[in-house]
Amino acid sequence: MIMNKTKSIAAGAVMLCGVLAVPFASAATTLESVKEKGHLQCGVTSGLPGFSQPDSEGNWTGIDVDTCRAVAAAIFGDAQAVEFTPLTAKERFTALQSGEIDMLSRNTTWTLTRDASLGLNFAGVNYYDGQGFLIKKELGVNDATELNGATICIQAGTTTELNLSDYFRAKGMEYQPIVFDTSEQTVQGFAAGRCDVLTSDRSQLAALRSKLQDPSSAEILPNTISKEPLGPVVRQGDDQWFNIVKWVLSAQINAEELGVTSSNADQMLKSDNPNIQRLLGTDGDMGAKLGLRDDFGYQAIKLVGNYGEMYDRNVGPDTPLGLSRGINALWTEGGIMYAPPVR
Amino acid sequence: MKKQTTDSRPSGPKPWYDPRIRALFFQIVAIALVFWGGWTLVDNTLTNMQSRGISTGFGFLEETAGFGIIMSLVPYDATMTYGRTFVVGLMNTLLVSAMGIVTATILGFIIGVARLSSNWLVAKLALVYIEVIRNIPLLLQIFFWYFAVLGSLPSPRQSVEVAGSLFLNNRGLYLPEPIPQEGFGLVWGSILVAIVAVVGLSKWAKKRQLATGEIFPTFRVGLAIVVVLPVLAYLAAGSPMTWDMPALKGFNFGGGITIIPELAALWVALSLYTASFIAEIVRSGILSVSKGQTEAAKALGLPNGRILRLVVIPQAMRVIIPPLTSQYLNLTKNSSLATAIGYPDLVAVFMGTTLNQTGQAVEVVAITMAVYLTISLLISLFMNIYNRAVAIKER
């Protein structure tokens, strides 16, 4: 009897030590652990057309997905070396904080609170957005100021929830929020008539509208009630990793500005423009400064494309979303997309 | 001193061979390990959070929440604090749990008894109900009730209207809200008097039955008193009550009381689901009562209803209550599925929106876990007290 007890206690103690020893393992840098795993673990939305959505064969597509792929291409020279973790808005930060994912690329708005108190760093902006309203045409509403007393469907855990409340309070209007867990349920609630209006970032509204049975029955109101700079996020405290994600995105934007595309990247290797040479790694040691190979820019652009290609392929005018470049155009073309120089 | 003791018992085992001392030693080691483990976990978490720049502490409860909640039992608007959102979520959880427990119990008892009915059809219908409902996942049932019911209801402008004061549409059920005016105190007073009268009446009836054997219809007379007295008082005070009527204003109805479809769907799903389990518990309880008890009661000439109420159910309760307690706990915990259909319960409001807006995952989850634990322990406690009260006391 005592023997048994002693044994089980001893076994318990060993197990306990095993469990506790894990957190003490010395923390490798994110780049090291990604290289060791052989793939990048990237957090994305669980399904939002144009941003990240798996097809019937499980291939993920979208602008947020491409941002992940570009980072993988820069590290491994392989845009497929990514595994995606679909996350709801509520889960995303915890997943990143706890190390479940290496980076978050999930139309996440850059705000001060998130930047300063969640232990996160925003590595740039891959889509400049703003919050809008999707409404059924039959209600005959043409402007958000006519929404007093409306019932509004929202997705839980977003900046949207706060902006909405601010907007209605500032305008002295009332509303009833119906908060769902996922964007899928939010659309379902809107389609079932639970709410008059669905509010979200305008790009998301376009995506969600395309999911409706009859997309032409709903329209997006002209009002934009907030600024929503969306972009990839990394954990705080690993500057090298922060720089890698930041500069892969910058490389893509610079590539568009310099006219380097996935199809002409090989010819551009022979370019005598020093900006292109530094970008593609034929001159200088830009990659080494980041802890990557010098051709990281070439790999990202060759395998995924520059920012414009990424935009046009996923959300641009020729896609079901049909979003014009607007402020997401390059600064040279009247937009605000502006990346610091690779030098 | 010690030396002497050892000397006086030279044949006793060495301390490390003494089973009691060894047991004590390992107990202490085990406790120390548990404490060390717990402390390490806490310390490790805090250190990691600090090194990653994640803010900690409960200060966030004082910050302004800034988001809206569709339903709250306490006054709430977006300018109030996260502490307030916690209270709102908690109240909503308690509301739907309490409503669910009451209806599931009533329904479960009826179906459990029906399951044993001598009427073939009634018994089989109860059987089908139990087997169907308890074998379908609760989340699916919640979705079914929410979206199926919502989809079939008309929009606010085409509401179903009953007598111009009750409206049903896909935003909810709208009822007139009674607003007591001055002089309503008289009605409250009369209700109190009625309750005291009924308690007195039942004591008197019991005494009379013991003395004379005559049965007084306490329930019916009591019900009459509870209804009639307040109504008389209400009329005497000059009908001191106005009604806030719901009316269509712009997009939706305003005024009155609203039962939102999220609450209705969750309530119906939780009640029906738990009732199927309770029915089985009731059935097993009734079956546990020896047949001789029923036969003895019959031999005394008691009618069937009274046999069930006075002889069978009281004995069955001993078997029913402990598993019934777990069903109440399950129902309360299952109410957290609310988050899937947008009912603002504790998990949706606090562990959902509040956690996400503040990023204080550890604190929020800890609070939420503590709340569910407390609710469960309280239900357990009350059910145990009740169990002890109705248990057979062998003297």
ipTM of model: 0.77
Specify the DSSP class assigned to residue B216: P
Instruction: Assign B17 a pLDDT band (cuts: 50, 70, 90).
Output: confident
Helix (H, G, I), strand (E, B) or coil at B92: helix
Tokens of B265: 């769907």
Mutate to test the interface with B, among A135, A164, A179, A242 (most CBs of B within 10 A): A179
Are A156 and B356 within 8 A, CB to CB?
Answer: yes
> Which tens digits make up the pLDDT trace of A91-118?
899 899 889 999 999 999 999 989 988 8
Nearest chain B residue to A159 by CA: give it: B357
Mutate to test the interface with B, among A118, A143, A148, A153 (most CBs of B within 10 A): A118
On the CB side of B335, CA atoms within 13 Å amount to 31
Mutate to test the interface with B, among A24, A87, A92, A162 (most CBs of B within 10 A): A162
Are B171 and A118 within 8 A, CB to CB?
Answer: no
What pLDDT is attached to residue B182?
Answer: 77
Q: Which residues from A are below 8 Å from B26, CB to CB?
A: 5-6, 9
Q: How far apart are CA A187 and CA B342, in angstroms?
A: 12
> Which tens digits make up the pLDDT trace of A191-238?
888 899 999 999 989 888 888 888 899 999 999 999 999 999 999 989
Are A237 and B52 within 8 A, CB to CB?
Answer: yes
Q: Is B224 or A13 the better-scoring residue by pLDDT?
A: B224
What pLDDT is attached to residue B131?
Answer: 95
Are B69 and A177 within 8 A, CB to CB?
Answer: yes
* Closest CB from B70, B79, B150 relative to A193: B150
- A118 — contact with chain B (CB < 8 Å)? yes
* Closest CB from A97, A165, A180 relative to B54: A97
* Closest CB from A151, A158, A161 relative to B252: A151
Contact yes or no for A199/A134 (Cβ under 8 A): yes
What pLDDT is attached to residue A6?
Answer: 47
What pLDDT is attached to residue B9?
Answer: 55
- End-to-end Cα spacing for chain B: 51
pTM of the model: 0.81
Which residues share a beta bridge with A218? A136
Number of H helices, E strands in chain A: 14, 13
Q: How many CB pairs under 8 A join A and B?
A: 145
User: Distance (Å) from the C-alpha of residue B38 to the closest C-alpha of chain A?
Assistant: 10
Instruction: Assign B160 a pLDDT band (cuts: 50, 70, 90).
Output: confident
- A20 — contact with chain B (CB < 8 Å)? yes
CB atoms within 10 A of CB B377: 11
Tokens of A106: 């999930």
Q: Is B22 or B5 the better-scoring residue by pLDDT?
A: B22
Q: Alpha helices of chain B — where are they, by DSSP H?
A: 2-8, 19-51, 82-115, 120-134, 138-143, 149-152, 185-212, 218-236, 261-288, 291-299, 304-306, 313-334, 346, 355-358, 361-390
Residue B16: exposure state from Cβ atoms within 10 A (0-12, 13-18, ≥19)? exposed
What pLDDT is attached to residue B254?
Answer: 77
What pLDDT is attached to residue B8?
Answer: 55
What pLDDT is attached to residue B246?
Answer: 84
CB atoms within 10 A of CB B322: 12
What pLDDT is attached to residue B151?
Answer: 79
> Which tens digits make up the pLDDT trace of B23-64?
999 999 999 999 999 999 988 888 888 877 787 888 889 999
What pLDDT is attached to residue B289?
Answer: 92
What pLDDT is attached to residue B222?
Answer: 87
What pLDDT is attached to residue A158?
Answer: 83
Closest C-alpha to B364, from B82, B92, B44, B52? B82
Q: How far apart are CA B141 and CA A30, in angstroms?
A: 43
User: Distance (Å) from the C-alpha of residue A93 to the closest C-alpha of chain B?
Assistant: 8
What pLDDT is attached to residue B10?
Answer: 58
| Residue type at A236 in one-letter notation | Q
| Segment 162-201 of chain A within 8 Å of chain B by CB | 162, 164-166, 168-169, 175-181, 185, 188-189, 192-194, 196
Are A13 and B67 within 8 A, CB to CB?
Answer: no
Residues of chain A with pLDDT under 70: 1-27
> Which tens digits make up the pLDDT trace of B254-273?
778 888 999 999 999 999 99
Contact yes or no for A140/A219 (Cβ under 8 A): no
**Tokens 């404490």 belong to which residue?**
B35
What 3 state SS string does B307-331 have?
HHHHHHHHHHHHHHHHHHHHHHHHH
What pLDDT is attached to residue A17?
Answer: 45
Q: Is A10 or B315 the better-scoring residue by pLDDT?
A: B315
Give residues with Cβ within 8 angstroms of A320, minimum separation 6: A49, A50, A210
Longest dimension (CA), chain B: 98
User: Distance (Å) from the C-alpha of residue A117 to the closest C-alpha of chain B?
Assistant: 5
Q: Which residues from B are below 8 Å from A235, CB to CB?
A: 52
Q: How far apart are CA B345 and CA A160, in angstroms?
A: 20
What pLDDT is attached to residue A19?
Answer: 44
Are B68 and A175 within 8 A, CB to CB?
Answer: yes
Are B67 and A93 within 8 A, CB to CB?
Answer: no
Are A119 and B78 within 8 A, CB to CB?
Answer: no
Instruction: Assign B176 a pLDDT band (cuts: 50, 70, 90).
Output: confident
Q: Is B3 or B214 the better-scoring residue by pLDDT?
A: B214
Q: Which residues from B are below 8 Å from A183, CB to CB?
A: none
| Segment 210-269 of chain A within 8 Å of chain B by CB | 235-237
Closest C-alpha to B272, from B73, B110, B133? B133
Are B78 and A6 within 8 A, CB to CB?
Answer: no
Are B342 and A23 within 8 A, CB to CB?
Answer: no
CB atoms within 10 A of CB B89: 26
User: Distance (Å) from the C-alpha of residue B35 to the closest C-alpha of chain A?
Assistant: 11
What pLDDT is attached to residue A24?
Answer: 41
Are A192 and B170 within 8 A, CB to CB?
Answer: yes
What pLDDT is attached to residue B11?
Answer: 63
- A95 — contact with chain B (CB < 8 Å)? no
> Which tens digits make up the pLDDT trace of B347-391?
999 998 888 888 888 899 999 999 999 999 999 999 999 988 887
User: Distance (Å) from the C-alpha of residue A182 to the closest C-alpha of chain B?
Assistant: 8
> Which tens digits make up the pLDDT trace of B92-147?
999 999 999 999 999 999 999 999 988 999 999 999 999 999 999 999 999 999 98
Are B67 and A177 within 8 A, CB to CB?
Answer: yes
Tokens of B8: 């006086």
Are A178 and B41 within 8 A, CB to CB?
Answer: no
Tokens of A18: 């095993």
